[in-house]
A and B are shown apart, each in its own frame.
Chain A
Amino acid sequence: MIRPIYRSALTQSRIISRSFSASIIRQSSSTSTGHLPGYPSSPFVSTLQKAVFDSVNANVVSDPNAEDQQTKKGIPTFRVLDGKGSLLPGVDESSLGLSKEEARKIMENMLLLPALDVILYNAQRQGRISFMMTSHGEEAAVIGSASALDNKDEVFAQYREMGVLLYRGFSLDKVMNQVFGTSDDLGQARQMPIHFGSTDHHFHTISSPLATQIPQAAGAAYALKRMKDRKENVVVCYFGEGAASEGDAHAGMNMAATLKCPVIFVVRNNGFAISTPSTEQYAGDGIASRGPGYGISTIRVDGNDVLAVRAAMKHAKQHAIQHSAPFLIECMTYRVGHHSTSDDSSAYRNRKDVEDWKRLDNPLARFGAFLQERGWWTEEEGETLRKQYRKDIVKQLDIAEHKPRPSISSIFEDTYKEVPPHLQEQRAELARLINMYGQTDAWKKELPKYRDQGKDMEQYLEKK
């Protein structure tokens, strides 16, 4: 039965916080490398009855009676699928509540995410876009959590959660408009690539400062609770294990708990904050162990097991609404890609470790195997879909690349609801400069890239 499994994990999490075992964990790995696989060739990894995150004591629990033993070892990791995509002993398939259609939608999005990542990553390498961050390795954590939500649940994300938008049907052209900063971008091309936001998709605009969204999510959840027509919705707030070290994470979780806000905090513990391994990020039992300290019901999940993430999210949502209270989910996963296009992760971690991880615990392979076993999916389908995605993505990329940027005058809008007098003056000043110097080489080349080619500024010239 699936329910008792994570219920037992939950009950344990309330009493577990005193039994940190970081010191034991450290012994198993001579160097601190986040939770890189400690024993890539070890036999238990391939059976994956155990998880191998070395920064937390990540035991797998599938026996609800193993409570005492597990309690001593830190918060266990909830898992449904083993490393080969088979259900763990004791997991009742019917309790997953997974239809073939849903399962396929999850798989399709788990494939779409890396397809986009690869092409956009290369586009950045070719200098076609300025910046990119991929989700490689975290497909299950992101798509699995998205699949358990209603499209109107409000999302506050960090930046590695494009998959949530994709799952909600955020179209490829919208993705491209944002990363290229075209005049059709919902954000008016004002932010760096991958800082998505969409009111239609209930996805609050991403900002670069880490963890700032955490107390905001608590506030949004408080507001949601007071809205009569939104009783079935929650706020979901994503962040990484590095961001969890920010003061705002402490502030947000404590406020959510004391003010009884229906918000689900989803931590993607992927082992690294840029170059800082998670073993240098915290000395406790990961992020999950902090939940009980705030009085927040908590679960640690195998973030590479899409069905476990999905089940935990479903439970969390039910709990958040029923008790009008926050819930914390720590998804243990691994950042397979570089931090961003401005980062070469081989400078601080072994390439081979990363390759081993990709081979040994690939969330796509695990779920793919699960689907194939049921006859819901074939290798060929996957390959056809990949090809189709590549075609669609490249097509949208080409379209976006040739679109103009928003008008120059748009930089003066939306700082305030209105354009105040001093900004009107500055707008007039830029209009004067463009009018006078628009024909110099540098600006002459620049102007045609913008909608209206800068002619929109003429209306703001001060009449002499």
Chain B
Amino acid sequence: MGLVEEYGRERVFNTPLTEQGIVGFGIGAAAMGHTVIAEIQFADYIFPAFDQIVNEAAKYRFRSGNQHNAGKLTIRSPCMGVGHGALYHSQSVEQFFMPAAGLKVVVPRSPIQAKGLLLASIRDENPVVFLEPKILYRSSVEHVPVDDFTIPLSTAEVLQPGKDITLISWGAPLYSCVQAMEMLKNPPASIAQHVPQSVRNASVELIDLRTILPWDRKTVAESVAKTGRCVIVHEAPITAGAGAEIAAHLQQACFLNLEAPVRRIGGFDTPFPHVHETWYKPGPIQIMDGLVRSLTY
């Protein structure tokens, strides 16, 4: 809003309705050394540009022997469930890009994070897919510094230190994680019987992964080596979701420390439904249940 008025039509402009065109165009301008911030209206519609992102943007530097690159390209796109978005206004797409070596994928959780991570993404010398949880666009409010600041990519953030179990997520589900932790501590009377006293005081270490590719394996592995238990939460379907990659790495890096299997909580392996969103998306209950089962394993 207001960017056209401030910076002019030549810098802030409409394109024809073509995702592959938008990303291809962005790559070309970035290859000429220009900073390009492209927008894909919904992450669900990034797939027409998948070829340009995976075969072109991600490989541009490598294939040219560092003669050319698309490093100044950032692709912003709204992602994740919004309550009623159904199949094509709800998807989490980060896992599709995880094998795209050369690409960075970033998901912020709040306004401060969004600004700091986006500025870092724009300035990063690699192409970045920046996924913005759209349910937070208007609901998440905090004081954001007007000044310039960045938050480094590929660094996870420990939001709450703990010693008994590690809870990892990114984007919107982090808020459900916080609610789940609260529920674990003080379960409502209606479900208290399912939450043993012994786990209610468990100390949960909550981690915001923030960058999905390349992700901060050190912070995550150190945490799980310490706690011995891990629950990973994402909205995307479980099979080959980003959680699979993290879990696989953890069993390799923390095998001797693990006291329970790494649990993954995500969407079901179905398309994202309309009226059934409550049952589909991991909410506080599913996450709390995951924590209980891991802690009592």
Contacts and interface: CB of A to CB of B under 8 A. Distances in A.
A216 B31 contact: yes
A254 B63 contact: no
A216 B20 contact: no
Contacts of A4: none
Given A190-B63, A216-B27, A414-B65, 18 more contacts: A185-B65, A186-B65, A187-B67, A188-B65, A197-B67, A207-B56, A207-B63, A215-B20, A216-B24, A218-B28, A219-B28, A222-B29, A223-B33, A247-B48, A248-B20, A252-B24, A259-B15, A416-B214
Contacts of B64: 186-187, 197, 204-205
A255 B16 contact: yes
- Greatest chain A CB density within 10 A among B24, B52, B104, B126 is at B24
A216 B25 contact: yes
A31 interface: no
Nearest to A156: B28
B62 A415 contact: yes
A228 interface: no
A187 B63 contact: yes
Interface in B47-71: 48, 51-52, 55-56, 59-69, 71
Given A198-B67, A212-B55, A420-B214, A223 B28 contact: yes
B21 A252 contact: yes
A463 interface: no
Interface residues of A, number: 49
Contacts of B226: none
A59 interface: no
Contacts of B48: 247
Interface string A199-210: 100001101010
21 contacts: A188-B65, A190-B62, A190-B65, A204-B31, A205-B67, A207-B55, A207-B59, A212-B51, A216-B27, A217-B28, A219-B28, A219-B36, A220-B31, A226-B34, A248-B24, A254-B18, A255-B18, A415-B101, A416-B126, A421-B214, A421-B217
A189 to B, nearest CB: 8
Contacts, number: 150
A232 B295 CA distance: 68
B245 to A, nearest CB: 11
B262 to A, nearest CB: 18
B244 to A, nearest CB: 16
B24 A205 contact: no
A204 B69 CA distance: 10
A220 B28 contact: yes
A417 B71 contact: yes
Contacts of B18: 215, 250-251, 254-255
B26 A219 contact: yes
Contacts of A417: 61, 69, 71, 125-126
A197 B68 contact: yes
Contacts of B6: none
Nearest to A208: B55
Interface in A330-380: none
Given A212-B52, A255-B18, A420-B214, A205 B36 contact: no
B145 to A, nearest CB: 27
Given A187-B65, A205-B67, A207-B63, A212 B56 contact: yes
B10 interface: yes
Interface residues on B, range: 35 or more
A416 B65 CA distance: 11
B28 A254 contact: no
Contacts of B62: 190, 414-415
A414 B61 contact: yes
Interface of A: 154, 156, 185-188, 190-191, 195, 197-199, 204-205, 207, 209, 212, 214-224, 226-227, 235, 247-248, 250-252, 254-255, 258-259, 413-417, 420-423
Contacts of B34: 223, 226
A227 B32 CA distance: 10
Nearest to A212: B56
B96 to A, nearest CB: 17
Contacts of B179: none
Contact of B67 (A186, A207, A420): A186
B108 interface: no
A242 B295 CA distance: 59
Top 4 nearest A-B pairs by Cβ distance? Answer: A219-B28, A215-B24, A251-B21, A216-B28
Nearest to A416: B126
A24 to B, nearest CB: 33
Given A207-B56, A422-B217, A224 B32 contact: yes
Contacts of A186: 64-65, 67
B284 interface: no
A215 B214 CA distance: 28
B7 interface: no
Contacts of B30: 219
Contact of B66 (A216, A413, A420): A413
A216 B70 CA distance: 10
B218 interface: yes
